[in-house]
Amino acid sequence: MEELYSVFAQEAREQLSAMEDGLLRMEQGDHDSETLNAIFRAAHTIKGASGVVELHHIEKFTHILENLLDKLRNEEIEVSPELITALLKGCDHIGTLLDRVDQGLMDEDAGLQQAGEVTADVLRGFTNMQVADSTAMMPDASVGTVERAGGETAISDCWHVSIRFGRDVLKMGMEPLAFLRYLLNLGEIVHLETLCDALPPAADMDPECCYLGFEITLRSHASKEQIENVFAFCRDECELHILPPNSKVADFLGLIEHLPEEPMRLGEILVKSGALTQEELDVGLRRQEAATKIAEATEQVPPQIGEILVEKKMVQPELVEAAAAKQKQVADKKSAESRLIRVQADKLDQLIDLVGELVIAGASANLLAQKSKQGNLVEATSVLSRLVENIRDSALQLRMVQIGETFNRFNRVVRDVSKELGKDIELVISGAETELDKSVVEKIGDPLMHLVRNAMDHGIEPAAVRAAAGKPERGRVELNAFHDSGSIVIEVVDDGGGLNAEKIQAKAIEKGIIQPGQTLSEQEIVNLIFEAGFSTMEKVTNLSGRGVGMDVVKRNIQALRGTVDVKTELGVGSRFVIRLPLTLAIIDGFLTSVDNAAYVIPLDSVVECLELRDDDTRGHMLNLRGEVLPFIRLREFFDVEGAPPPRENVVVIAAGGRKAGIVVDQLLGEFQTVIKPLGSLFKHLRGIGGSTILGSGEVALILDVQALTHLATQSEERRTQPRHALLAEERE
């Protein structure tokens, strides 16, 4: 049962985010009716699903939202920013209710209920507002123009019961006939239509399964509950829709949407939903046939049945639209259903773990095969290891998700925050299709949120200041994502005022983070904002600026083995660059050795390898075809004893847009590396990112390329820095 609720909550969230997306697009001037329809459908789905899992408070609230959307769709009310805000608030409330469901609480508490009432009242306010003018102004388009002949008006005074029995009802000892006959106790069955469409061909038909569905027109004074209760015993086994008499168009629309049938013809859909009578359809079809003949003769496009029906005023255009959408949806859904399956995340983790072990075991088998020098065995193991490689890649691919979903959440954030701040800010997203590990995506949301809010609050200046500086009044925040040498880069860019290095330095001194005499490069000063307890903004707003953000951001990102950097230019803007490893589990490595110990360098960051020649080096710099390349000797760095071999090698690595060399004794080639995290004991170890186990069972250390590049270039920066300081002092 709990699983049911969590699936419901998850799916409802997806619908909710679709609604939110649509609403935001509408606010930005998207008047496409399909957008509104999509929002309506999403709301309707939430309502339906919450009813099924018996979360009636959600159902009730969504119903209010849906009513308003319906009015909007019928163009009875106008889109206004206030309306969108109210609808978004409604979405938020549903989100909060879903949170409670996630916590296993099936009811709403008093506070939430009250909040819900307030939001609902606002929504109702919008809904009712139009009722007054629309009834006066509109000659009720939905009823007036649709004329039905004679006795058929009586049919619309009846209940419409649509039921599809589940496959297993017969096996469970339930008899559809008995349920349907019981309906006679409630009233008169005016018409009953048996649907056998689901009945498979004779060979595939299981005689003990039920394939039937029924559309029933019932004249009765019973309440909806009473009718529903007739089917109480099989309620869980069947799909039941009950439409009240004089059903509103919206209800028909809902029904069309929920018809579970096989691909159908448009007319059938309408007839089945009760929006159209069979006679009307027949008339329409005859007309279509005639028109097609004419069209063939004159070589015109034959008219669609939907057009004819609308033209003949047999059915409302929106119903045809919905039915046509359903038609398409049935086809789409069929393919989508087979394309998507939900899998529990821990099952996936388990798979990745196993694949990791497989990679290690495979490497070991490979090694033994090579030692044995048996050609056949070597061949077999090499095929095997290629397959293992493929399995590894696809297993990791399973965990990859696009970052777009995370990014899109920020549309809403930017909208709300910019309203709150009274600034006009647009969000530009690029690289939404960039993929990264799901566990990373989950954890990157909060730090990103902080950076975006920060950019809007502190980065973007008020409109007046912007205008004075000759910038467009509308501020701009960008979210970019792209792949770069084995890691993913996420940027938060704003075109605001940029960071003021002097101010930061003064502040840092004031806060005691640095000493007054300390000399720092500009980059180091700017990076001080990531220190704990730092805030430059005099005014503390409720968005950011309590000084508890940036250091937390940095810590969160470091926990993901990532880095965060800031590049800024005063008056032009800032760019926060987050760099994250692509996956957390397995990488392609490049195996090297120093003395007897093996070291793995992530292959993605390796640019080239070359022999170290003494005449090319000066200190810790290397002349790489005229380019200056700082390098680190692993032998020195890790204090490895023993003399270096006569010929050393340099592995050129690139990270964060900077290149560095790593000097090792030997190059051993490519190696699939399963990352085993180092224990907390080694947390402070610099330059090592993890460990792995070689095929021989030996342990190899994985080098932290980011850190090493940083160290190599930084030590260079350090060496040049004091000279600047010295010059400055001399001048004074």
Partner 1 sequence: MTEFATQTTTDGAVHLILDGPMTIYTAGEIKAQLLDGIANAAIVEIDLSHVGEMDTAGFQLLVMAKREAQRLDRTLRIVAHSPAVREVIDFYNMDAFFGDPMVIPADH
Contact residues for partner 1 (CB under 8 A)? 170-171, 175-177, 180-181, 191-194, 196, 199, 201-202, 205, 207-208, 210-212
Measured CA to CA, the distance from residue 393 to residue 691 in angstroms comes to 20
φ/ψ (deg, to 5) at 4 = -60, -45
Quick check: 669 and 589 in contact, CB under 8 A? Answer: no
Closest approach, Cβ 247 to partner 1, in A, equals 21
If the CB atoms of residues 208 and 639 are measured against partner 1, the closer one turns out to be: 208
Closest approach, Cβ 169 to partner 1, in A, equals 8
Closest approach, Cβ 332 to partner 1, in A, equals 28
Closest approach, Cβ 132 to partner 1, in A, equals 45
If the CB atoms of residues 104 and 207 are measured against partner 1, the closer one turns out to be: 207
Closest approach, Cβ 228 to partner 1, in A, equals 20
Q: Where are the alpha helices (DSSP H) in 373-489?
A: 375-399, 404-421, 438-454, 463-468
Q: Where are the alpha helices (DSSP H) in 622-704?
A: 634-637
If the CB atoms of residues 200 and 677 are measured against partner 1, the closer one turns out to be: 200
Closest approach, Cβ 55 to partner 1, in A, equals 33
Residues 695/696/699/705 CA torsion (nearest 10 deg): -50
Residues 140-162 as b or e (16 or more Cβ within 10 Å = b): ebeeeeeebeeeeeebbebbbbb
Closest approach, Cβ 195 to partner 1, in A, equals 10
If the CB atoms of residues 141 and 190 are measured against partner 1, the closer one turns out to be: 190
3 state SS of 311: helix
DSSP conformation class of 539:
S
If the CB atoms of residues 81 and 173 are measured against partner 1, the closer one turns out to be: 173
If the CB atoms of residues 139 and 173 are measured against partner 1, the closer one turns out to be: 173
If the CB atoms of residues 158 and 352 are measured against partner 1, the closer one turns out to be: 158
If the CB atoms of residues 199 and 361 are measured against partner 1, the closer one turns out to be: 199
Closest approach, Cβ 177 to partner 1, in A, equals 5
| Residue at token pair 């909710």 | 16
Quick check: 709 and 654 in contact, CB under 8 A? Answer: yes
Closest approach, Cβ 304 to partner 1, in A, equals 28
If the CB atoms of residues 109 and 279 are measured against partner 1, the closer one turns out to be: 279
Please state, in angstroms and as integers, the Cα–Cα distance from residue 498 to each residue in 45, 293, 414, 493, 495, following that order: 45, 70, 19, 10, 8
Quick check: 317 and 275 in contact, CB under 8 A? Answer: no
Quick check: 256 and 275 in contact, CB under 8 A? Answer: yes
- The angle formed by the CA atoms of residues 289, 295 and 300, to the nearest 5 degrees, is 140
Helix (H) or strand (E) holding 107: none
If the CB atoms of residues 262 and 641 are measured against partner 1, the closer one turns out to be: 262
Closest approach, Cβ 266 to partner 1, in A, equals 22
If the CB atoms of residues 95 and 187 are measured against partner 1, the closer one turns out to be: 187
Neighbours of 139 (CB within 10 A): 8
Closest CA to 475 of 496, 457, 458: 496
Measured CA to CA, the distance from residue 577 to residue 310 in angstroms comes to 56
If the CB atoms of residues 61 and 214 are measured against partner 1, the closer one turns out to be: 214
Closest approach, Cβ 67 to partner 1, in A, equals 35
Closest approach, Cβ 193 to partner 1, in A, equals 7
If the CB atoms of residues 214 and 631 are measured against partner 1, the closer one turns out to be: 214
The DSSP string of 580-591 is EES-SSEEEEEE
Quick check: 675 and 702 in contact, CB under 8 A? Answer: yes
Closest approach, Cβ 271 to partner 1, in A, equals 14
Quick check: 602 and 704 in contact, CB under 8 A? Answer: no
Measured CA to CA, the distance from residue 121 to residue 114 in angstroms comes to 10
Contacts of 535 (CB under 8 A, 6+ apart): 507, 545, 546, 547
If the CB atoms of residues 208 and 538 are measured against partner 1, the closer one turns out to be: 208
Q: How many whole angstroms from its chain centre is CA 245?
A: 41
The pair of structure tokens assigned to 680 is 């907390």
Residues 401-436 as b or e (16 or more Cβ within 10 Å = b): bebbebbbbbbbbbbebbeebebebebebebeebbb
3-state helix, strand, coil in the chain (%, to 5): 50, 20, 30
Closest approach, Cβ 194 to partner 1, in A, equals 4
Closest approach, Cβ 211 to partner 1, in A, equals 6
Helix (H) or strand (E) holding 628: strand 627-633
Closest approach, Cβ 197 to partner 1, in A, equals 11
The DSSP string of 318-378 is HHHHHHHHHHHHHHHHHHHHHH-----HHHHHHHHHHHHHHHHHHHHHHHHHHHHT-HHHH
Closest approach, Cβ 159 to partner 1, in A, equals 17
φ/ψ (deg, to 5) at 147 = -105, 130
If the CB atoms of residues 201 and 422 are measured against partner 1, the closer one turns out to be: 201
Closest CA to 71 of 113, 123, 8, 139: 123
Measured CA to CA, the distance from residue 529 to residue 269 in angstroms comes to 62
If the CB atoms of residues 210 and 395 are measured against partner 1, the closer one turns out to be: 210
If the CB atoms of residues 194 and 397 are measured against partner 1, the closer one turns out to be: 194
